[in-house]
Amino acid sequence: MSELYERITVMGEDLTVSLIVWRRFRTPMPGLVERTLDINPGLADVGHYLPLGTVFLLPIPAPRKPQLLPTIRLW
């Protein structure tokens, strides 16, 4: 199964890769920032804040199965 990517163009100031990931998925995505930096050589070299017009690929993770948490009874 091949991985899907979304092409992102930075359109605002003071944006970081982690902020873009959060705004795109609105949930914690462990390891996604690191994977984004791995598939985009040189992205980490542009600095913490991405310059306007920076284009990079954002990997789209496969959907995860929802996990049922055990019920905790206080009484």
Residue 70 lies in a domain: no
Residue 26 lies in a domain: yes
Q: Is the pLDDT of residue 18 over 90?
A: yes
Residue 68 lies in a domain: no
What is the pLDDT at residue 12? Answer: 93
Share of the chain above pLDDT 90, in %: 69
Distance of CA 54 to CAs 34, 35, 43, Å? 17, 17, 9
Total domain count, the chain: 1
Q: How far apart are CA 57 and CA 54, in angstroms?
A: 10
pTM to 2 decimals?
0.78
- Host domain of residue 50: 4-60
Residue 11 lies in a domain: yes
Distance of CA 75 to CAs 23, 38, 72, Å? 39, 49, 9
